[in-house]
Amino acid sequence: MRWINKYTIELEEADIGYPKVISLKMHYKTLQLVDELYKSLGFKSRSEFIRACIWFTVRHLKEFKEELGINQ
């Protein structure tokens, strides 16, 4: 699997339109892990890291769905 960096996300999201602001709740320990990871991986902010994680997951789930032949 390749890691998707912020530049890939920005290029691919450019065709989607303006970003929407959402509220996200998570447990404190998960937030601590997010903070450790985004800093150690060179992301500038939590938001940038979380967007990359979501985009990475969505892309791979879409590929997995296509491999299974699920069309919904």
The residue ranges of every structural domain in the chain are: 43-72
Give the sign of the dihedral formed by CA 70, CA 13, CA 22, CA 37: positive
Check if the beta carbon of residue 1 is closer than 8 Å to that of residue 53: no
Task: Kindly report, residue by residue over 45-68, the tens digit of the pLDDT.
Answer: 999 899 889 888 988 888 888 888
What integer best gives the mean pLDDT of the chain?
81
For the record, the structure tokens of 31 come out as 């937030």
DSSP state of 3: P
Name residue, tokens 């890691």.
3
What does the pLDDT average to over 13-36? 86
Check if the beta carbon of residue 41 is closer than 8 Å to that of residue 33: no
pTM of the predicted structure, to 2 decimals = 0.68
Nearest to 9 by CA among 45, 52, 72: 52
